[in-house]
A and B are shown apart, each in its own frame.
Chain A
Amino acid sequence: MIVTAIQKDVWLLLRDRGALISLFVLPIIFIVTFGSMFRFGGDSGKPRPIPIWHAPGDARGEAIARVLAATEGFTAVAVDSADEARRRVAASSNDAALVVPAAGPVELVIDLAEPVQVRGPIQGALTGAVMRAMAPAGLAKLPPFIEAKSPPGVAKPLDHISSFQVTVPGNAVLFGFFIALTTAMSFVTERRIGTWRRLLAAPVPRWKALVATLVPYYVVGVAQLTFLFGIGALGFGMQVAGSIVALVVLSLSVVLCAVSLGLLFAAVATSEKQLGGIGSVVLLVMGLVGGCMFPRIVMPAFMRSLGHVVPQSWALDGYYDVLVRQGTQVADIAPSIGALLGFAAVFAGLGLWRFRFER
């Protein structure tokens, strides 16, 4: 009977253009859009071009250009004049530029109105490059002053982290949780059209009627995440640095959590209109707070902590580890999986407590 219920709901879903678009097409549009917006890290292996101007033959300028060219993530682009370097930053053609006069301080051209989270890393890296270039010759022979290392127990990341390593899971989680809305909508619609009465009148235990309505959406949710990660890997070069088993276990936990949330929505919602309005806003806010649209790392500390009150942030922490950190196993993302299962238990518990078969 549950197999037939799955078949029936898949038939219905395949004929529901709106649901198909929101579950399968919109996430792809968002992945492409956000992937293009967040070109951080070694995006496609392309270093960030930095226009640099110095007077012809100026030794200091040439040294800075050499160091800049050797700095990971940057490349020096010589321009004809200081004004040209400034113009390029003003026109947002480049994020920053260096103007090296014959004497006096080097001018770092950068839009000071940029948020510090965006401006800071560029400013810091360019300042370091300039300081290395201007250091006395003997200093370069000394051992490095500072070396970046992951803390013990944190696996080594991929060499090149494309923006799609973040935007694919971000949008998969954001839209993956929309299965909660689809699940809840199916309950409300079944009640409205009277098929729920038929189900209750049939020789089917009530727990089975509930499971038969939830399981199809669990299956659809798993299919949705499989599709999105598949497209991410095949279409956008997303890599899985950790174990595939960990990715699968995490994804199954995410869908369980989303479907449980759907049961809670179904228990409290009275109409499709109410669900479509309030439910969508709730899911979007949860996704926003959880870091689905903007990585939590760029958020203030308070917002980063607040993120942990929604399951989306735990899901994303887990996905980041599996997709970016090499050798990540199920045990490494146990906190994420545990939190997702905990949220699922709370949502399902509240949903079952509030759910009325005979409304």
Chain B
Amino acid sequence: MTVALSLRGLGKDYGARTAVTAIDLDVLGGECLGLLGPNGAGKTTTISMACGVVTPSRGSVTIGGVSLANQPRVAKAKLGLVPQDLAVYEELTAIQNLRYFGALYDLTGARLAARIDWVLGVVGLRDRATEPVKQYSGGMKRRLNLAAGLVHEPELIILDEPTVGVDPQSRNHIFETVKQLGKNGMTIVYTSHYMEEVEALCDRVAIVDAGAIVALGTVSDLVAQHAGKAIELELAGTPEAIEAADRAAADHGSVARDGRRLRIVPTAGLAPLVAAIEATGATIAKIESRQANLETAFLALTGRGLRDVA
């Protein structure tokens, strides 16, 4: 199978701070690769280097066998980017936006018109194509954001949180569109905060933490190799006691916190964990065991929940 995207020793420093240490990754042609990592892990920097938006401090990027450093125009033409931001002009219509973004890839005339018509159909915006984007709902804007990355028919598309902040209907539409693109043979790199999207969509998942890939494999491989049995605790007590309990739990395993709930993959037995929490003044109101899944694998690998702020 061909390699659609190859990253070799890719790293980025901002002054004395290293954002990405050294990433080695091959994305195979036609596969959908999930890129997961806590906030600040280096996902966006890695994507930016892969797209040529950020110049790497070291390492190389090859897109469809073409070196990004040596032949940037040829390499970039093979790639589509769907940024996390709504990178479209709200004052313009969908057609005007797509005409501009298509022209960046040397599409003109009838070919551009045909591509615009196709992509508007793909994202379900054909009937609203002549309205200014500012009149769209958040979900429709996200769909146009996706269309702008697809208009030039790339071999590889990189989607950075394509469903963040949209209504369930649009989220489902985007999800199904990406799924269909994958079925049609497009290579996809997909980052998301929604673990279930990654589990359902991606053939393989790379988990990034602290600027490096800490695990790479299929979802079942990652779960089998890294996911310990997780427990979920619901705590009672003062906010200070719950804060202290969160800190105490972190000494006994990987912890993700959501308000009064702690999801923990314990490193040792349950007894020392419970004792440590109760010593803080917090009490355990409820305790449940959780099946091993991608989320618990992620938690075990990074020590953080996917939505935690770094």
Contacts and interface: CB of A to CB of B under 8 A. Distances in A.
Indicate the size class of the contact surface on chain A: 20 to 34
A186 to B, nearest CB: 11
B105 A203 contact: yes
Given A4-B99, A199-B104, A204-B104, A194 B87 contact: yes
A8 B87 CA distance: 14
A199 B77 CA distance: 12
B196 interface: no
Interface stretch (A10-18, A101-109, A152-160, A302-310): A10-18
A12 B133 CA distance: 12
A358 B87 contact: no
Interface residues of B, number: 35
Contacts of B252: none
A16 B77 CA distance: 32
Interface string B48-75: 1001111100000000000000001111
A16 B81 CA distance: 28
Given A197-B83, A201-B76, A203-B72, A5 B100 contact: yes
Contacts of A195: 87-89
A204 to B, nearest CB: 6
B52 A200 contact: yes
B104 A194 contact: no
A194 B148 CA distance: 12
B92 A197 contact: no
Contact of B148 (A5, A198, A204): A198
B221 interface: no
Contacts of B220: none
A1 interface: yes
B103 A12 contact: no
A168 B72 CA distance: 48
Given A198-B81, A203-B76, A8 B53 contact: no
Contact of B104 (A7, A15, A16, A198): A198
Contacts of B74: 203
Contact of A11 (B77, B91, B148): B91
B91 A197 contact: no
A120 interface: no
Nearest to A192: B85
B103 A4 contact: yes
Nearest to B76: A203
B106 interface: yes
A322 B149 CA distance: 51
Interface in B140-170: 148-149
A8 B102 CA distance: 12
Nearest to A5: B100
B54 A358 contact: yes
Contacts of A197: 48, 51, 53, 81, 83, 85, 87
Interface in B78-102: 79, 81, 83-92, 96, 99-101
Given A201-B51, A203-B105, A15 B91 contact: yes
Given A198-B148, A358-B54, A8 B96 contact: yes
B89 A16 contact: no
A202 interface: yes
Interface string A167-204: 00000000000000000000000000111011111111
A128 interface: no
A200 B92 contact: no
Contacts of B106: 1, 203
Nearest to B78: A203
Given A201-B51, A203-B76, A1 B104 contact: yes
Interface string A1-36: 100110110011001100000000000000000000
Contacts of B86: 193-194
A205 interface: yes
Nearest 5 CB-CB pairings of A with B:
A194-B85, A194-B87, A4-B103, A202-B104, A203-B76
8 contacts: A7-B100, A15-B132, A198-B87, A202-B101, A202-B105, A203-B75, A204-B104, A358-B55
Given A5-B100, A7-B100, A197-B51, 15 more contacts: A1-B104, A8-B99, A12-B89, A15-B132, A193-B88, A194-B85, A198-B81, A198-B149, A201-B51, A201-B53, A202-B105, A203-B76, A203-B106, A205-B72, A358-B55
